[in-house]
Structure 1
C-alpha cells in the first residue's frame, strides 16, 4: 500500500489518527462487486500496445489436454494481518489471509500450482508482532503443504520506507521482516535459490511442465547493489525465463483503469528489466487497483507488467487472489481473480460486495505469448512439456462459482422523482437541496424539511476564506441517482490558498443542541471532485458538528485533533472516508471509522450508525459496512451553541479546508436505523395506498380521499379526474373534475370542476395511482353511480367496485371489492342538504360493475390508468 506521510497542517490536529500510519478498510462500492478496475488503454510513453489488444489464436483449444500450470499470486495482505485478531477472527473465526493459503493448498494439485508469489505489504504496522503472527500462520499452511513460495517486503514491512532510503541502508538486525521470514526459513523450501547480503532480495527456481522458471523478488527500494546482485543471479542462470516481483513497479491512473508508470518503476525498467531479456513478466502490488502494461525491451521482446492490489476493496481486499494460468501449448497466459474468503463466509454475512470472482478486465484477461519464440534468444531448447492438463482457468472458475449463490450485485432502487424517500420518526434534521440550478447566493437558505434547522450559505466575509467567489458554490438539480434531491457542489477548494465555502445552520437551530444520547444515524450523499489532490484537498470535510474538542469537559489531550470539531465526516489524504467523533462520555476520547479508497467523480452514500446500547459506531458506504469501526462509544459530546457545517472543516475555532466536490441531501436521525430506513430506500407504493371512494349508488360526491406514501402524487383518471399530493401524515384528498368524455357513462359531459352540489347524475368509472415521477403504483380501480335528484338510490355503499391491475398490466373488473386490497369504501362526501338521503346508504346499494380501465398519462405527466405490473419498490 502507498504510504503517504501526513502533511503538516500548521497545528496539532493534522491527521485524524492516533498514529501516523492509519489506514482505512471497507467498501467502495464499485471496487469489489464490479471488479476494482477495467481494461487499460495503452499509455503514450510505452513501446508497444497494451496487453488488452486482441489475443492471437491459441495453438490448442482450451478444452483439450495441454501443457499448463498455474502461478498463484497473493496481493497485499496487510489489512488481513492487521485486523485478524481484532475484527476477522471475532466475527468469522478465521481471517482472509489464512483462508487464501488454505484454499491454495487444497487445490494445488487440481490447478497444478507449483509456486505462490506474495507481492509485499505482508503486514500493515511493521512494529506490531500480532500482525506478523497472523502472517506466519497463513504462510505456514503452504509450508506444511510443501508448496514453495516467495514473500517480499513492501513499504509497510520495513521500519523506514522513505523513498530516498535504499535497502542496503537498513539496520537489518532490527527489521521484523527478517525476524519472521529469515533467509533460513526460505532456504527450507526446495525451490529456494539464494539471497543477497541483506536477505531482503531472493530468488527461487521452480519446475513446471518439465521446464524451469525463476521467481526473482526485489525488496522495497532496491539499491544499485541489489540490481547488481540481480544481474549476477541471471548470469548464473542464463537460460531460465524470469518472473520478477517487487512491491512497486506499475501504478494505476486516477481513472482506476489505465496503467501509469512511476519514477521508481522506471528506475527498475531502465536499470534492470529492459536490459535482461529473461525477464518477461513483472508482478507488483502497492497501488490500489488492477491494470497491466506491455512494453518492449532492448531485444525487441515484450515484457508485461501486472498490478494487482485489492486492499482498498471491501473488508480490506475481501480475500481476492490472482491466478495466472501458463498455457504453454496454447501460447497464452490466462488471468483469473477469485476470493476463497467470499466462499468461506456464512451466507447470512454476505453483502452485495461478496462476489466470488471479479471479471472486469484487469482482473480477468488473456495475454497472448508465444513462449518458444519469446524465449528463443536465451533458451532455444524451451518446449511445451507434457500435455497432461485440462483448462485450468475453467477449473478455477468452477471452484469459485459452482454451488455458490452470489448475493445480488445491488438491491437499491433509484429515486423516481422529488420526495421519493422514506420518512423516519425521530428525524432531527433533513437538509434537501431543491431549487433553481445555478450559483448559490451568499445567505441563500436550504430548508430543513423535518424541522427548523435550515442551512444557509455563509457569506464570504464571514467565512474567513481567502479568495472565495460566489460562483464557487452551485446548486445542481440531481445528485446521486439514489437520492430524490439535488445537491450543492463546491469548486476551487484549496487548502494551500485558503479558498473554501460552506453552509451552516443558524446559531440557535434546534439540531445544534441535540446530543443524540440514544444513538443516531447520520447519512449523506457525497462526491469527490475529479481534480482532487492530497496536497490541496487532503483531510477535507463534508459534514461537521463544529466546535473545539479542547473545550469539552473531560476530553483527554491527544496528539491529533485535540482542537478539531467534536464530530466530522471527511476524507483522508489517501481518499478514505473517515468518521471521527467524541462520544457522550467525553473521557473516552476520539472514536473513528474508516472506509476503503474512494474513487473521484462517483457518488457515494455514507451512513454513520451509532448504537449507544451496543457501544458501536458503524460506517456504511453504499450499503456495506466498512471493516474498521468505532467501539466503546455512544452519543456525542458537543458545544451546544455551535452550528452544523456542510462543506468545510472547523479546526482551531475557525472554518478551513473546504470540500472539493458535491454534497447531496443529508439527514440526522436520533436513533440507529437500518438500510430499510435510509435515504437510499424507497417508500412502498402499493402497500398502504387506499381510497375511500364510494361504490354503488350515492347521492352526492365532490371529492375522493384516502391514504398513501407521504410526498407522493396521487393521480385520478377516468370519468373523474384530479391530482393531489399525499400529506406528511399520509393522507390525500382530490377535488373532482369531470372528464370531457368518459365513454357511454360520461358522454357529452363538459370537463369542469365539480361544484358544491357534487357530480351530476350518472355512472362514473375511475382509476387511481400514486407515485414519484417515473415510479408509480399499481392502480386502484372502481366505479359508482350518482343518483338523480329525488332518487334515494339503492345498493351497498360498503362494497367497492373494481380491483387493482395485475402484474401483467391489466386492471381486472369486479364487484364486491374496492381497489386492490378489498378494503370497504368509506367516507362518502355529501352536502348538508342530503344528509338524510345519505343515511339510506347503509341499507344497501346496487353495485355497479366496472370495466377495466387502461392507464393513461395526464397532461401534467403523472401516470394514470391501466395497471403496469412490476413497478419497482422497496419495503
Structure 2
C-alpha cells in the first residue's frame, strides 16, 4: 500500500541578483569504476561538459546531504553543549536554513544513523531539536533509519520483522512527521520508508528513502512508487549500499548494496544516483544498468573523524545547463568554532578526491529513455559551489592540517627515543608454529606463540595463527599476525606472549606513554562469538592491587587491556599508578570489520588524561584523572586474547599489525603513520677535484637509515648512519686499463636519499679527476729525447705555483687558503680543491729534484772516467 498526500511544490526561492566575480572550475572526475560499460555510458560520461570559466548564470540548485549524525546526538548533552553551547547536528541544520536561498537548496537528505544508542531518549531529543529547525523553516527533507536507529539491526532482520509500536524511529520520525513536509509523497506500511518529490531548476526529482534492511515488501513498495511516477529522475538514499576498501579511497561492493542493485536499481532506469552512509569514509562507484546507462553510487560517512564527524555535510550542485553534478564537503560546525579551540583536524572544507569532485552527466541524454522532454530550467543562479565555499570560508583562518604519506620501505618510520618495545611481524608468511618468536626490534621483549596445550584451548589448531602481508597501508612493516576461529562460546583461542622475565612486564609508565598498534576485525565477527574480545593485554588481576576499589565490571580483569566490545567499540581500560582511582576507560565509536585502523593511546601526566586516537583523530570519550599504569609484577604482555579471573579467554578475531610502546606521550609527527623527513639532504660541494690514483670520498648529511644512491657518471650506495652522515668511497686511476676505476675528466652525478620508493629531491654535483704527474712504471726515461721536463716554476695542474709560499697555494701560511683534505663520513679523507693543488705542486717539485740529481750523477761519472 502507498500512503499518499497531495504534492505541493517547494517554497519560492530567491533569484540571484549578483554575479560572482569568479566561478569554481570543474574538478576532474575521480573514483569512477565502470562495470560492463556500454556505448551509451561513454556518450553520457565523456561529453565535453566543462563549466564556463566566467560567472555566467546557470540552471542550478543544491542538494544537501546529512551523513551519519549518531555521535552528535549521543554526545550533545554531555560533551558538545558544555564545551561549545551547541552540537554539530543542530549547527548543520541551522546553517542550511540560514543559507537556503543563497545556495538554492530545495531539499535535504539524511542518510540514517540519526542516533547512536537506539534506546537512549536523550539522543532522540538531540536529534529532534536539530531536525525541528528544518521543520520550523518549512525546509523539506527525507530521513531514514540506520542500523543504530532500530532495536534489532541483525542482517537477517528486516523492517517488516519489527514490532512497530516499540520502534523509536517510528515514534520520533514516522509517517505523521514526514507528512508535514511539502515534498512528501508517501510511506510504506511500516513507516520506515518514504518518498518525496521536489522541484528545482524547472524540473521535478523523486527521492526514495529506504530504511536499514528494507524488506522485499518494502522494495515492492518502492517499485510501485517508481511505476506511479515513471518520468521522474530518481535519487535513492539508504543507510547501507556502497562500502569502501581499507585504502580509504577505493569503492567496495557490499552484499546489501548488491541486493538493492539486483532487486531494484538496475532494472529502473529512473534511478541515476544513490547516497548512503554507514561505512566510514567517502568514495563512489559508477555501474551500468540494464538500459546501458550509468548509475553512480556515493558513500559519505565521517563519524570516525574528529568529534564524531566534525559536522561535515555534502553540498551537491546540479548544473542542468553545464551537465555536471559537483560535490563540496564542508563543515558549518568547524566554521562556527572559536579560533582558540581549533585543532589541525578542523578544516572547514575537505579537498580530497572523494570529498570534492565534479561528475559529468548529460542530463537530457541520460534521462531520454523515460523523460524525453527533460530540459534545463531558467538560468538564474550563479555558481553555487563557489558560493558555498565563499560562505564557509568567510572569516575562517584554517589551522595547519595533518596529512599522511604511504611508506616507501620497511625502514620508513620515525624512530623515537624512549621506545621500550617495538614488535614487527613482516617477513615470511604462513602458519605460526608453536613457540615461534617475533622479535622486539627495540630491545629484549620478544613475543612467542604460546603452545596450544599451554594456552588451555582444547580446540585450537596450529593454523589458527598466521602471518599475513595484508596490513594497514600506513604501516611500514608489511606484515601482521592474524588470529582465526576465535570463539568465546567454545573457548577456542590462540595468543602470543612476552617471556615472564621481560623487563617491559614491570614498567609502570609513570612518565606517561604512547602505545600504538594497527588492528583489523575479522569480517565474520559476531557479538555472540567475539564480543569483548581483546587484542593487547597487560595480564594480571587488578583486584589484587593494594588500594584497588571494588567495581561491578572488570574487578578481576587485567591491569590494562585494549579490546572490542559487543557493540564493536574499542575499549582501552587501565588502572593508573594511583590504584585508588580505579578503572579508567577510553571508548571509540563503532569499528568496521575487515578494515585496518591505526590506534594510538597517549597518556599525558600533565593533563592526567589518556586519549585514544583512531586513524589520527581523538575519540570523544577519553579517560581522565589518570597517569601511568599499575601492574602485577612479572606478568606478561599478551597479544590475541584477554586475561581475567587469572586465566586466558576472549580470543581476538582479526589481525594485529606492528605495535610500539614508548615511555612518554608523543604526537602524530612521531607515530608509526608518520614518515621521516627527507629534506636537508646534502652531498659534497658541487665542484670537487681529486688527482687520479687517489681515493675520492663523496659524503654529506641525511636522514638516519635512509639509503643514498649516486647516479649519472658515478655509481654507489650508502646508508645514512645514526648520526646523520654518509660517505661513499670512489677509486680513481690514470691507467685506461683499470676499467672499473674513474678516469680523469669531469664526472657529473646526482645523489638522492630514499626509503625505497619515497625519495628526496636529487642533489647534483661534479667530480673532477686530474691527471697524476707521478711517473708510471712504463713512463719513458725523462732524459729520453722527446720527453719534456717541467720547469719547477711552472704552475702545476690546478693553476697554482709549485712554490708553497705563493698566494693561493693553500699553504697554512696563506691566510686565504683552504684545507687540503676534508674528513669523510667514516674518518677517511676526501681530497678537494686546494688540497689537490698542493699534491700536484709537491709531485712536480719531486720530479724536478729527481731530474737534477740524475744530471749531477751523469756528470760525476764522466769526470771519473
- Quick one: higher RCO (CA 8 Å, sep 6+), 1 or 2? 1
What per-residue deviation string (whole Å, max 9, x for no partner) do you get for residues 123-157 of structure 1?
Answer: 22244444344334433443455423333444434
* Residue 609 of structure 1, CA deviation: 0.4
| C-alpha contact 1:799 1:818 (8 A) present in aligned 2 | no
Secondary structure of the structure 2 residue equivalent to 1:135: helix
Gaps of 5+ in 1: 1-33, 692-700, 752-766, 784-791, 802-813, 831-845, 852-875
Secondary structure of the structure 2 residue equivalent to 1:568: strand
Is 2:657 the partner of 1:668? Answer: no
What per-residue deviation string (whole Å, max 9, x for no partner) do you get for residues 10-51 of structure 1?
Answer: xxxxxxxxxxxxxxxxxxxxxxxx99x9445549xxxx9899
2:311 maps to 319
Equivalent residue runs for 1:681-692 within 5 Å = 681=674
* Residue 72 of structure 1, CA deviation: 1.7
Which of residues 501, 509, 521 is equivalent to 1:516? 509
Rounded Cα–Cα distance in structure 2 between residues aligned with 1:723 and 1:225: 68
1:427 maps to 419
1:626 maps to 619
1:55 maps to 44
Which of residues 456, 459, 466 is equivalent to 2:451? 459
C-alpha RMSD of matched pairs (Å): 6.4
1:171 maps to 165
Rounded Cα–Cα distance in structure 1 between residues aligned with 2:192 and 2:93: 22
| C-alpha contact 1:62 1:390 (8 A) present in aligned 2 | no
* Residue 522 of structure 1, CA deviation: 0.9
Rounded Cα–Cα distance in structure 1 between residues aligned with 2:721 and 2:370: 78
**Cα distance change of structure 1 residues 829 and 647 upon mapping to structure 2, 3 Å threshold:** same
* Residue 636 of structure 1, CA deviation: 2.2
2:380 maps to 388
Is 2:607 the partner of 1:614? Answer: yes
With 670-679 and 221-230 compared, the bigger mean Cα shift is at: 221-230
Secondary structure of the structure 1 residue equivalent to 2:422: strand
Rounded Cα–Cα distance in structure 2 between residues aligned with 1:240 and 1:770: 61
Secondary structure of the structure 1 residue equivalent to 2:613: strand
1:805 maps to none
1:698 maps to none
1:873 maps to none
**Cα distance change of structure 1 residues 220 and 56 upon mapping to structure 2, 3 Å threshold:** closer
2:232 maps to 241
2:97 maps to 105
* Residue 197 of structure 1, CA deviation: 8.4
Secondary structure of the structure 1 residue equivalent to 2:112: coil
Rounded Cα–Cα distance in structure 2 between residues aligned with 1:104 and 1:302: 30
**Cα distance change of structure 1 residues 54 and 671 upon mapping to structure 2, 3 Å threshold:** farther
Rounded Cα–Cα distance in structure 1 between residues aligned with 2:410 and 2:46: 53
Is 2:244 the partner of 1:250? Answer: no
What per-residue deviation string (whole Å, max 9, x for no partner) do you get for residues 204-237 of structure 1?
Answer: 55443445555565666778998898899889x8
What per-residue deviation string (whole Å, max 9, x for no partner) do you get for residues 819-864 of structure 1?
Answer: 8xxxx9999999xxxxxxxxxxxxxxx977799xxxxxxxxxxxxx
With 331-340 and 639-648 compared, the bigger mean Cα shift is at: 331-340
Is 2:481 the partner of 1:489? Answer: yes
Rounded Cα–Cα distance in structure 2 between residues aligned with 1:51 and 1:624: 43
Rounded Cα–Cα distance in structure 1 between residues aligned with 2:440 and 2:255: 48
**Cα distance change of structure 1 residues 437 and 221 upon mapping to structure 2, 3 Å threshold:** closer
Tell me which structure has the larger Cα radius of gyration: 2
* Residue 673 of structure 1, CA deviation: 1.8
2:732 maps to 741
**Cα distance change of structure 1 residues 682 and 366 upon mapping to structure 2, 3 Å threshold:** closer
Is 2:567 the partner of 1:569? Answer: no
Rounded Cα–Cα distance in structure 2 between residues aligned with 1:714 and 1:238: 67
2:575 maps to 582
| C-alpha contact 2:470 2:480 (8 A) present in aligned 1 | no
Which of residues 361, 365, 381 is equivalent to 2:359? 365
What per-residue deviation string (whole Å, max 9, x for no partner) do you get for residues 555-585 of structure 1?
Answer: 5666765554332234567766543333344
With 648-657 and 69-78 compared, the bigger mean Cα shift is at: 648-657
2:797 maps to none
Secondary structure of the structure 2 residue equivalent to 1:442: coil
Secondary structure of the structure 2 residue equivalent to 1:522: strand
Secondary structure of the structure 2 residue equivalent to 1:645: strand
**Cα distance change of structure 1 residues 477 and 711 upon mapping to structure 2, 3 Å threshold:** farther
Equivalent residue runs for 1:136-215 within 5 Å = 136-143=128-135, 145-158=137-150, 163=157, 166=160, 169-171=163-165, 175=168, 178=171, 190-191=182-183, 204=196, 206-213=198-205, 215=207
Rounded Cα–Cα distance in structure 2 between residues aligned with 1:251 and 1:829: 61
Equivalent residue runs for 1:431-446 within 5 Å = 431-433=423-425, 440-446=432-438
* Residue 653 of structure 1, CA deviation: 3.6
| C-alpha contact 2:680 2:701 (8 A) present in aligned 1 | no
TM-score (norm 2): 0.66
Is 2:644 the partner of 1:645? Answer: no
What per-residue deviation string (whole Å, max 9, x for no partner) do you get for residues 92-121 of structure 1?
Answer: 664332332233234322332112222332
